[in-house]
A = this chain, B = another copy of it.
Amino acid sequence: PSGGEAAMGPVRLERVVFALNGRRHEMAGGDVHPSTTLLEFIRTRTPFTGTKLGCGEGGCGACVVLIATYNPTKDEVTEFSASSCLTLLYNINLCSVITTEGLGNTKDGFHSIQKRMSGFHASQCGFCTPGMCMSIFTSLANADKSKKPQPQKGFSKLTVSEAEKAFSGNMCRCTGYRPIVDACKSFASDVDLEDLGLNVFWKKGDKHADVSKLPDYTLGGGVCTFPDFLKSEIKSSLHHLNDDSDVTVSREGWYHPKSIEQYYDLLNSGLFSDCTVKVVVANTSSGVKGYKDQDLYNKYIDIGDIPELSAICKKDGGIEIGAATPISKTIEILEQEAGSKSSPNGSVVFRKLAEHMSKVATPFVRNTASIGGNIILAQKYPFPSDIVTILLGAASTVRLQVYSETLEVTLEEFLEQPPSDPSTLLLSIFIPHWASDSQKESKVIFETYRAAPRPLGNAVSYINSAMLGHVSQKSCGDLVLSNLHMAFGAYGTEHAIRATKVEQHLNGEVLTPSVVLDAVRLLRETIVPMEGTSHAEYRISVAVAFLFSFLSPFAKGIKGPGKTASIGYASSSDTDDPCNLPLSSRRDTVSSDDHKPVGEPIKKYAVELQASGEAVYVDDIPAPKNCLYGEFIYSTQPLAYVKNIKFKPSLASEKVLTVVSAKDIPSGGQNIGSSFMFGDEPLFGSPVAEYAGQALGVVIAETQRYANLAGKQVVVEYDTKDLKPPILTVEQAVQNNSYFEVPPGKYPKQVGDFSKGMAEADHKILSTEVKLASQYYFYMETQTALAIPDEDNTIVVYSSSQYPELAQSVIARCLGIPFSNVRVITRRVGGGFGGKAFRSYTIGV
């Protein structure tokens, strides 16, 4: 039944058609919730399990797939990698998706990437491997499409330096990356095979490393990424795409307005007034920490199909980029523009913008994430955007639509406006040309900076900056700067800002030490992190360093800093030279036959299966029908009674089937979730949550995503009455005489005569304190368990556990059943590193 609204054009997508590994899939509205991600679809609705769920936020690469689109007019296929964990299924209408199973598998034979991953020992736990393969494959396929010269037979057009970046967004916890880089480099046209590390194809030190020993590679990758049937379907539907058939607007759905007008018609229909609607382009913002979906959405408006948002217009004064343009595409456009005649000497701005953008997020996020989405995110929230900062530094303007009105304002002005709501559409971004003025003898200078934990991107900045100006020489020979635009962002601010006072202060001044010092002082007054920002002082000092670094070439009487080390922070100019990358260091191993067969290269068993995604991890085990999924509810209080657990009224809360908590522990069972040498650990904090982060219960829902989202709707009522203050530090623990009982055998034994040694020592320790911070367990496969009840009160638990035998005892004790009634099966562990020992039991229980 219709919602009663006026019918409009074909705004609602009633079905999504796509190819997955060459097979056609068609999903109609009722089959799949509009919030379903591509990853979820692949993992739960198809037999393919190679595409893994790691972080679920675009940050690890475990879920990378290749997406190919087809342009029927140009008869052209475009291939790019994408994080399937963020990509919504409805967003891939008419696309072709390839997973690692589509590259190769047991039945069709493995792909050379998969075989080389195996031969170069590039897969240990194997959980990252399928994503690695997909990133590498996409790089090879795209390199081979380029106009570069034909490589030697068996090689790709990819270069060694490209190979080193091919999977820059993919994380691996086990291998240390070196062998993966080797596997990838083995395809590079300019590789020296003998430089590559240990492998099973030849013996290290052999002077016979030779491409013929490697699993065969054919140029292009040898995989049909876009099936013909889908091409035909696209061609034949070309005529229908603009049919004005009536579509009813209903409770759930995916809407894709094809014009600005349709967009506002939808908004005005009254169906989108509640908070259950989400406006998206690529939906990657749902992966950004702090801005992830907090609730389930029922309706999506996909604005990526509005033509104005995808247009690229080269104008006289600059270039206008549609807001829905992906960051990768933007980089390409900027690079082209930088190299083109139309911006002969203003190229530095475009080039450096492009370079900086290449460090934003990961390749597979940049390939879909829109530049406009980034800007809107930064406009609405205190999101530490790089893009906004550098565009601000480049004096960009934006074009907005608000209902029937079109506005053009500077980015600076836009940022100052109140947080925008769906009534504001960002149409495009205009980046002006900055030409050097040969008459005035002024030269454009532009630098961008970011300080982040990793040099190649995939980490949000602590602070970033872009500085633009003209430099010219006074008649006295002194250099002066003018026209300055100095932007800083991400340092703990509502949004990026211009350091106007600093700009004004420096404009036209000779950069003497005192002028620079005053600039630094003014900057320090400008860069004021919001309360609660971590490492505030560090961020400010980095801002000063950026400023100094920008000014020093033009300063008078100041010795400039050398190139900054690439780890701490990087200016975009630092990466010009790829050899700069720490990855390029290498180690030589000389092997000998002395202890044969020790030293023989032996392939780890079943790596090809890991690479092709056929290896079965816990979450890959076919779940029984009606399987339920859980999400822990964690305490946010350190020591408090848990009075009750409720849910906010919301779509996600409606998905809650039940909450399992301490009261559900069967009679005869114990509240135990783990056990180790310091004793047992409760499964749930009950009646008192003992520490923030302790599990209080488990939300149960029909899908993992529903459970996760429902978990965010939890409201726990705490009460600290009659409770002492929590013990939060070791000092407080000592003071309160609160110790773990250390088993006698584990007491540290004194070794040697301490007093004697100290008495005799040249340098004595009179007093000291050693503090060890906590250590976060990290492994690519998240904690997972699958429990299947079996007859006679027994249970089979598939657990990714480093100690299945202890898991068994904890589960049995919690359930109050004999140990023999619990069967714990561990097949593969997708990375453990200690975290899959004691910490895995809780999940199994």
Q: Which residues of B contact A626 (CB under 8 A)?
A: 45, 47, 622
Contact with B along A763-791 (1 / 0, CB 8 A): 00000000000000000000000001111
- State in angstroms the CA–CA spacing of A47 and B107 once bound together: 35
Contact with B along A615-630 (1 / 0, CB 8 A): 1100000111111000
Q: Which residues of B contact A790 (CB under 8 A)?
A: 616
Q: A30-B30, A248-B1 are in contact. Are A106 and B792 (CB under 8 A)?
A: yes
Q: How far is the CB of A59 from chain B (nearest CB, A)?
A: 27
Does A44 count as interface, using CB distance less than 8 angstroms?
yes
- State in angstroms the CA–CA spacing of A447 and B1 once bound together: 59
Q: How far is the CB of A799 from chain B (nearest CB, A)?
A: 18
Give the A interface residue count (CB, 8 A).
26
Does A583 count as interface, using CB distance less than 8 angstroms?
no
Contact with B along A469-495 (1 / 0, CB 8 A): 000000000000000000000000000
Q: A623-B624, A624-B625, A788-B622 are in contact. Are A106 and B793 (CB under 8 A)?
A: yes
Q: Which residues of B contact A606 (CB under 8 A)?
A: 791-792
- State in angstroms the CA–CA spacing of A45 and B625 once bound together: 8
Does A609 count as interface, using CB distance less than 8 angstroms?
yes
- State in angstroms the CA–CA spacing of A790 and B2 once bound together: 45
CB neighbors of B among A517-574 (8 A)? none
Does A320 count as interface, using CB distance less than 8 angstroms?
no
Question: Which residue of A2, A30, A625 has the most chain B CB atoms within 10 A of its CB atom?
Answer: A625
A45's closest neighbor in chain B, by CB?
Answer: B626
Question: How many copies of this chain sit in the oligomeric assembly?
Answer: 2
CB neighbors of B among A602-651 (8 A)? 606, 609, 614-616, 622-627
Partner of A792, one of B2, B614, B625, B793: B614
Q: Which residues of B contact A625 (CB under 8 A)?
A: 44, 622-625, 627
A621's closest neighbor in chain B, by CB?
Answer: B624
- State in angstroms the CA–CA spacing of A790 and B798 once bound together: 15
Q: Is the CB of A615 within 8 A of B791?
A: yes
A626's closest neighbor in chain B, by CB?
Answer: B45
Q: Which residues of B contact A622 (CB under 8 A)?
A: 624-627, 788
- State in angstroms the CA–CA spacing of A616 and B45 once bound together: 26
A788's closest neighbor in chain B, by CB?
Answer: B622
- State in angstroms the CA–CA spacing of A627 and B609 once bound together: 23
Q: Which residues of B contact A30 (CB under 8 A)?
A: 30
Q: Which residues of B contact A2 (CB under 8 A)?
A: 1
Question: Which residue of A1, A47, A107, A626 has the most chain B CB atoms within 10 A of its CB atom?
Answer: A626
Q: Is the interface of A mostly helix, strand, loop or mixed?
A: loop
Q: How far is the CB of A210 from chain B (nearest CB, A)?
A: 30
Partner of A107, one of B106, B248, B624, B793: B793
Q: Which residues of B contact A791 (CB under 8 A)?
A: 606, 609, 614-616
- State in angstroms the CA–CA spacing of A125 and B615 once bound together: 37
- State in angstroms the CA–CA spacing of A267 and B615 once bound together: 56
Q: Which residues of B contact A106 (CB under 8 A)?
A: 792-793
- State in angstroms the CA–CA spacing of A626 and B624 once bound together: 9
Q: How far is the CB of A789 from chain B (nearest CB, A)?
A: 8
A105's closest neighbor in chain B, by CB?
Answer: B793
Q: How far is the CB of A99 from chain B (nearest CB, A)?
A: 15
Question: Which residue of A615, A624, A791 has the most chain B CB atoms within 10 A of its CB atom?
Answer: A791
CB neighbors of B among A92-115 (8 A)? 106-107
Q: How far is the CB of A828 from chain B (nearest CB, A)?
A: 9
Q: Which residues of B contact A623 (CB under 8 A)?
A: 624-625
CB neighbors of B among A732-790 (8 A)? 788-790
Q: How far is the CB of A96 from chain B (nearest CB, A)?
A: 22
Q: Which residues of B contact A624 (CB under 8 A)?
A: 622-625
Q: Which residues of B contact A47 (CB under 8 A)?
A: 626, 789
Question: Which residue of A616, A792, A793 has the most chain B CB atoms within 10 A of its CB atom?
Answer: A792
- State in angstroms the CA–CA spacing of A45 and B627 once bound together: 11
Q: Which residues of B contact A793 (CB under 8 A)?
A: 106-107
Q: Which residues of B contact A627 (CB under 8 A)?
A: 622, 625
Q: Which residues of B contact A792 (CB under 8 A)?
A: 106, 606, 609, 614
- State in angstroms the CA–CA spacing of A214 and B247 once bound together: 68
Q: Which residues of B contact A44 (CB under 8 A)?
A: 625
Q: How far is the CB of A20 from chain B (nearest CB, A)?
A: 14
- State in angstroms the CA–CA spacing of A788 and B788 once bound together: 15
Q: How far is the CB of A616 from chain B (nearest CB, A)?
A: 5
A620's closest neighbor in chain B, by CB?
Answer: B791
A30's closest neighbor in chain B, by CB?
Answer: B30
A616's closest neighbor in chain B, by CB?
Answer: B791
Q: How far is the CB of A119 from chain B (nearest CB, A)?
A: 18
Contact with B along A8-38 (1 / 0, CB 8 A): 0000000000000000000000100000000
A793's closest neighbor in chain B, by CB?
Answer: B106
- State in angstroms the CA–CA spacing of A609 and B794 once bound together: 12
A605's closest neighbor in chain B, by CB?
Answer: B792
- State in angstroms the CA–CA spacing of A626 and B31 once bound together: 13
Q: How far is the CB of A666 from chain B (nearest CB, A)?
A: 8
Contact with B along A38-60 (1 / 0, CB 8 A): 00000011010000000000000
Q: How far is the CB of A783 from chain B (nearest CB, A)?
A: 21
Contact with B along A591-609 (1 / 0, CB 8 A): 0000000000000001001
- State in angstroms the CA–CA spacing of A623 and B791 once bound together: 15
Q: How far is the CB of A40 from chain B (nearest CB, A)?
A: 13
Q: How far is the CB of A31 from chain B (nearest CB, A)?
A: 11
Q: How far is the CB of A617 from chain B (nearest CB, A)?
A: 10
Contact with B along A255-276 (1 / 0, CB 8 A): 0000000000000000000000
Q: How far is the CB of A276 from chain B (nearest CB, A)?
A: 20
- State in angstroms the CA–CA spacing of A600 and B498 once bound together: 94
- State in angstroms the CA–CA spacing of A788 and B616 once bound together: 12
Q: How far is the CB of A814 from chain B (nearest CB, A)?
A: 16
A608's closest neighbor in chain B, by CB?
Answer: B792
Q: How far is the CB of A36 from chain B (nearest CB, A)?
A: 15
- State in angstroms the CA–CA spacing of A790 and B609 once bound together: 11
A792's closest neighbor in chain B, by CB?
Answer: B609
- State in angstroms the CA–CA spacing of A716 and B622 once bound together: 35
Having A1-B1, A616-B791, A622-B627, one finds 7 other A-B pairs with CB under 8 Å, namely: A1-B2, A106-B792, A609-B792, A615-B791, A616-B790, A622-B625, A624-B625
List A residues at the B interface (Cβ < 8 Å): 1-2, 30, 44-45, 47, 106-107, 248, 606, 609, 614-616, 622-627, 788-793
Task: Supply 22 A–B pairs (Cβ within 8 Å), ascending by A.
Answer: A1-B1, A1-B248, A44-B625, A45-B626, A47-B626, A47-B789, A106-B792, A107-B793, A606-B792, A609-B792, A614-B791, A614-B792, A615-B791, A616-B790, A616-B791, A622-B624, A622-B625, A623-B624, A624-B624, A624-B625, A625-B625, A625-B627
Closest 10 CB pairs of A and B: A622-B624, A106-B793, A616-B791, A614-B791, A609-B792, A609-B791, A615-B791, A623-B625, A625-B625, A622-B788
